[in-house]
């Protein structure tokens, strides 16, 4: 009985995992990771600076894009310290409180990402369905209120997670499967009943990612219905063209997330390398690609970047 009780503890330290089987190559592997994080952080900061400096970009579409840049900047800054610490310096230890804080911020910014993508889908629908009332419907105060709702939803839904995890006793090896803390990863370690955590986690997933993705699909169904009712092929093509960047951002965000979720549930026998690769794609790729896509496809942002770099006169 004494042995059983001693095996149950609340560890003060957890251990992160790098790339299994490639530990001797971590220094080299860190180079592309550094490059990706550099692109993600600089790219989203540039988007924010351009939107703030260019008065012509104070439109609803670009205000939502600035929210997307903030949430993706938050994801990158939440993961970069532990990822590079593991790969560059082999510092795998992380305090339990720091791990819970990282879980909160990573998942909080991910939920914000999903909410902003939904708001951007609504923005595109209003712009195509009722262009004459576009600026009257999506006013500055309403956009600010929507941003506040998206933020508060993320914070309030994620706030219980650290407390629900903190109360659990641990009796298994306190080694995490990634180089950062994720809720599905940490929930595998406790030796107590984790059904409350699992049920609440499922509720959060359904009420955020599930509901958001359904509403985004519904928005695009209504957009397509509206576009097909436009008599002019040129106008139809122009309307759809305004959605390409956002649709690309939705695919870049949801495809890796769904793939990672499927791996967690049905790919438990797959190589740990595959799980780590999918998790890194989910957290690293969208913050890198979205600023690039919007910079390439949006003429106003290209002009703003050119002015900021002194390549074009204001």
Beta strands in 10-72 (DSSP E): 13-15
Identify the pLDDT of residue 19: 86
* Local structure of residue 214 (DSSP, 8 states): H
Q: Would you list the domain boundaries of the chain?
A: 13-309
Identify the pLDDT of residue 242: 83
CA neighbor of 278 nearest in space, from 255, 256, 248:
256
d(C-alpha 128, C-alpha 125), whole Å: 5
Q: How many CA atoms lie within 13 A of 307 on its CB side?
A: 17
Identify the pLDDT of residue 54: 85
Please, what is the end-to-end C-alpha distance for the chain in angstroms? 77
Cα 53 to the center of its chain, rounded Å: 25
Token pair listed for 209: 């990612």
Specify the CATH superfamily of domain 13-309.
Answer: Rhodopsin 7-helix transmembrane proteins (1.20.1070.10)
DSSP letters, 112-132, are HHHHHHHHHHHHHHHHHH-GG
114-162 confidence digits (pLDDT tens): 999 999 999 999 999 888 889 889 998 999 999 999 999 999 999 999 9
Within 10 angstroms of residue 306's Cβ, the number of other Cβ atoms is 14
Query: Looking up tokens 């797959």, which residue turns up?
Result: 270
Q: Which residues contact 67 (CB under 8 A, 6 or more apart)?
A: 112, 116, 119, 147, 150
Identify the pLDDT of residue 5: 46
Token pair listed for 182: 């994720």
> Of all residues in the chain, what percent are helix, strand and coil, respectively (each to 5)?
75, 5, 20
Token pair listed for 17: 């995992």
Token pair listed for 307: 């002015």
For the chain, which ranges sit under pLDDT 70? 1-11, 172, 231, 264-268, 312-314
d(C-alpha 218, C-alpha 197), whole Å: 30
d(C-alpha 26, C-alpha 31), whole Å: 9
């Amino acid at each position: 009985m004494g042995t059983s009780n001693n095996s149950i503890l609340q560890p003060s330290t957890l251990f992160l995992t790098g790339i299994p089987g490639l530990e001797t190559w971590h220094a080299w592997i860190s180079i592309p990771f550094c490059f990706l994080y550099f692109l993600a952080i600089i790219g989203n900061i540039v988007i924010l600076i351009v939107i703030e400096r260019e008065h012509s970009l104070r439109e609803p579409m670009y205000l939502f894009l600035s929210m997307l840049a903030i949430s993706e900047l938050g994801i990158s800054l939440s993961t970069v310290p532990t990822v590079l610490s593991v790969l560059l310096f082999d510092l795998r230890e992380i305090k339990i409180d720091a791990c819970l804080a990282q879980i909160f911020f990573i998942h909080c910014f991910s939920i914000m990402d999903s909410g902003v993508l939904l708001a951007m889908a609504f923005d595109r629908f209003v712009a195509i369905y009722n262009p004459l009332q576009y600026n009257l419907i999506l006013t500055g105060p309403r956009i600010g209120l929507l941003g506040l709702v998206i933020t508060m939803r993320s914070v309030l839904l994620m706030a219980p997670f650290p407390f629900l995890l903190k109360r659990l006793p641990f009796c298994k090896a306190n080694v995490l499967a990634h180089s950062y803390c994720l809720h599905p990863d940490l929930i595998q370690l406790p030796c107590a009943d984790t059904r409350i955590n699992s049920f609440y986690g499922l509720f959060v997933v359904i009420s955020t990612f599930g509901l958001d993705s359904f509403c985004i699909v519904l928005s695009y169904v209504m957009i397509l219905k509206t576009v097909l009712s436009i008599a002019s092929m040129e106008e139809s093509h122009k309307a759809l063209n305004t959605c390409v960047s956002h649709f690309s951002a939705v695919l870049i965000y949801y495809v890796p997330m769904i793939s990672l979720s499927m791996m967690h549930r049905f790919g438990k026998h797959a190589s740990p390398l595959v799980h780590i690769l999918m998790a890194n794609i989910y957290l690293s790729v969208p913050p890198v690609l979205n600023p690039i896509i919007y910079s390439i496809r949006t003429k106003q942002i290209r002009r703003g970047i050119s002015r900021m770099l002194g390549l074009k006169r204001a």
